[in-house]
Amino acid sequence: MAALDGACVLDPEYLDGAIIGVASGLGGAVAVYDYDLLVQVMAADGADDGADEEAETNAIEWIEFNTLRALPYMGLRAPIVVYLLEEGAEAETEDSGDTPVMYEFGGQTYASR
């Protein structure tokens, strides 16, 4: 994908099937992955006949422990993993009106307004 030249992407290459877009980051374009698609793609690769539930559990554990924890160490072009809301669902927010919501990304803390 030419738009991702120089960006960090996740290995193995079959995880490219979970890329849903490109975002503009501090160091340039970054890959955007859908968490649920990551689980599906990784579980499909690791599933044996009838072991789908175990493959999904293993995929979730791998992504949570090995992938998400590594993102802050990948630099400015690190991928973003998003959790899509289901249609009609509302985002949970800590915003009480005038208080900014704090969030952490890439080892940095940010405030939204």
The verdict on residue 105 lying in a domain is no
Spell out where the chain has E strands.
19-25, 28-34, 80-82, 101-105, 108-112
- Model confidence over 79-98: pLDDT tens digits? 999 998 776 666 565 545 55
pTM score, whole prediction: 0.71
Residues 6 or more apart from 70 whose CB is under 8 A from it? none
Statement: residue 19 has pLDDT above 50 = yes
The verdict on residue 103 lying in a domain is no
The verdict on residue 47 lying in a domain is yes
**What tokens appear for 41 in the block?**
């793609």
The verdict on residue 95 lying in a domain is no
Q: Which residue has the higher pLDDT, 70 or 50?
A: 70
The verdict on residue 29 lying in a domain is yes
Indicate the number of domains in the chain: 1
Q: What residue has token string 């099937």?
A: 17
Domain extent for 28: 2-85
Please give the average per-residue pLDDT across 27-45, as a whole number.
92
